[in-house]
Structure 1
Amino acid sequence: MDTIHTILKEMRAVCTHVDKNEYDSFVALLKSDARFFFTGEGRSGLVAKAIAMRLMHSGKTVYVLGETTTPAIQENDILIVLSGSAKTGQTISFSENAFRAGAKVFLITTNKEAVHKPCFTGGMQISAATKYRHSGEPNTIQPLGNQFDQAAHLILDAAIIDSLSERNSNEEMVKKHTNLE
C-alpha cells in the first residue's frame, strides 16, 4: 500500500503543476469541429489510443496513426502527439509531415523546449520524470516513463471532460461505446 500512496502523491504533484494557459489551449482545441489524429510511441502511444477512444466517445471524429483505416491528414485537421522526450524520430517525422499538410500539431511532452519547434502549433509540458532522469525532473519510485504516461492520461482525460458540452452526458457517451463485446 505504501507504493500506491507514493505514486498517488507523485501524480498529484505532477498533475497540479501543468501550466493553466497550456491546459486551457488544449481544452479549446478539443472543442474544435475538426478531425483529430493521435500518435505516440510505446506506452505513450497506448495512452494516445486511450485518449483517442475517449474523445471518440464524446462524438468527435478520431483516428490513430498507424491503423489501417486512418485516412490522410489534411489542412485544418489536428494531430495530438504524445512524447515524453519529443525526440523520437518517427514522432517528429509524423509531426513535420502533418504540419506541412496544413494540420495543427499539438505536443504533449516533458520537453519544454520542444514545444517551440516550428512544426508544433501548440503544446503542453508535463513536468514528469522520463526514463532518462534528466536533472530537474521530479523524483519518482516508478521505472522508465511511467510518471509521464500516467500523468498524461489523467491530464488529457480531464481536458476532455472540461471540453464536453452538456449534450455529452455519460448516457450519450455510452451510446458511442462499443457494443460488440
Structure 2
Amino acid sequence: MDDGQMVSSILKELGGVLRHSGEAAKVLTQEVADAAKRGSQVMLFGVGREGLMMKGFAMRLFHLGLRVSCIFDMTTPPISSNDLLVLSAGPGSFSTVEALASIARSANARVLLLTAQPSGPASRLADVVAHVPAQTMASDTSPSPSSLLPMGSLYEGALFILFEIVVLKLKDALGVSSESMRARHTNLE
C-alpha cells in the first residue's frame, strides 16, 4: 500500500467512526454546556494516549471560558456535587477510570464516560455513556482488525476530531466568539 492509499484508508476509517458518533457528540455537548451554564467545573481524565486527547479537549474548554481541570494535575480542585467528570475508557475498563468514577459518584458529581465498549465495566459507574465505535486495544488482536491503525489509534484519533466538533457546537451554544477564545490562549510560548 502506498502512502496515498494509506492516508485514504485511514481517513475513511475515521470518517466511518465519526459518522456513527453523532449521539456521542450530542450528549457530550449537552453535558458540558449544562455544566458551563451552572458554573460547574468540568474535570477530565483518560489514560495514555486517550489522556492526551482529553488534555487537548480540556485546553479548548478553557479557551471557551469554562472552569476545567485535568485529574492528577497539581492544581486539580476537589470534585463536588455540582461538577461534571468526563472520563475515557476506550476498551471499556481501566482501574483508574473506575476508581475516579466511584469517587465522583460518592461526591454526587455527574459522570460521563466516553468508550468504544459501552457494555464494559466502567459504563456501570457512569450517569451517561457516549459511544465512540472505534477499534481500541481491546479489539485490535482479532484475526481481522477493523483498522489499519495500530492498537487504539483509531479511537484516539476519532476522539481528537470529535472533541473539535464538540468545541464548535459549544462555541455556538455558549455564545463564545473566536476573539474571546484567542484572548484566553497562553502568551507563555
Decide: shared fold, TM above 0.5.
Answer: yes
Instruction: Report which stretch shifted further, 166-175 or 93-102.
Output: 166-175
Can you list the C-alpha shifts for 1:111-135, whole angstroms capped at 9, x where unaligned?
1213884420111111100123266
Matched, 1:10 2:18: no
Q: 1:103 aligns with which of 103, 109, 112?
A: 109
Q: TM-score, normalised by structure 2?
A: 0.88
Deviation at 1:86, TM superposition (A): 2.6
Residue in structure 1 matched with residue 61 of structure 2 by the alignment:
55
Alignment-derived partner of residue 132 in structure 2: 126
Gaps of 5+ in 2: none
- Report the counterpart of residue 29 of structure 1 in structure 2: 31
Equivalence for 1:81: 87
Give secondary structure in 2 for the equivalent of 1:39. strand
Indicate the percent of aligned positions where both proteins have the same amino acid: 27
Give me the whole-angstrom Cα distance separating, in 2, the residues matched to 1:157 and 1:102.
28
**Contact 2:61/2:167 (8 A) holds in 1:** yes
Instruction: Give me the whole-angstrom Cα distance separating, in 2, the residues matched to 1:12 and 1:118.
Output: 28
| One-letter code aligned to 2:146 | N
Higher relative helix content: 2
Q: Is the contact made by 1:115 and 1:125 (CA closer than 8 Å) also made in structure 2?
A: no
Once residues 77 and 156 of structure 1 are traced to their aligned partners in structure 2, the CA distance between those partners, rounded to angstroms, is: 19
Q: Spell out the pairing of 1:35-50 with structure 2 (5 A cutoff).
A: 35-50=41-56
Q: 1:56 to 1:180 in 2, by over 3 A?
A: same
Partner letter of residue 183 of structure 2? K
Using the size of structure 1 for normalisation, the TM-score is 0.91
Higher mean Cα deviation, 29-38 or 47-56? 29-38
Mapped partners of 1:99, 1:36: distance in 2? 14
Question: SS state of the match for residue 73, structure 2?
Answer: coil
Mapped contact 1:40–1:46 kept (Cα < 8 A): yes
**How many residues are aligned here?**
179
- Distance in 2, matches of 1:86 and 1:80, equals 14
- Name which of 146, 161, 167 aligns with 1:154: 161
Aligned partner of 1:67 among 73, 86, 89: 73
Match of 2:181 in 1: 173
Contact kept? 1:110, 1:126, Cα under 8 Å: yes
| Structure 1 consecutive aligned stretches of length 4 or more whose deviation exceeds 3 Å | 114-118
Residues of 1 paired with 2:188 and 2:123: CA distance?
A: 42
- C-alpha displacement at 1:41, in angstroms? 0.3
In structure 1, runs of 5+ residues without a counterpart are none
RMSD: 1.9
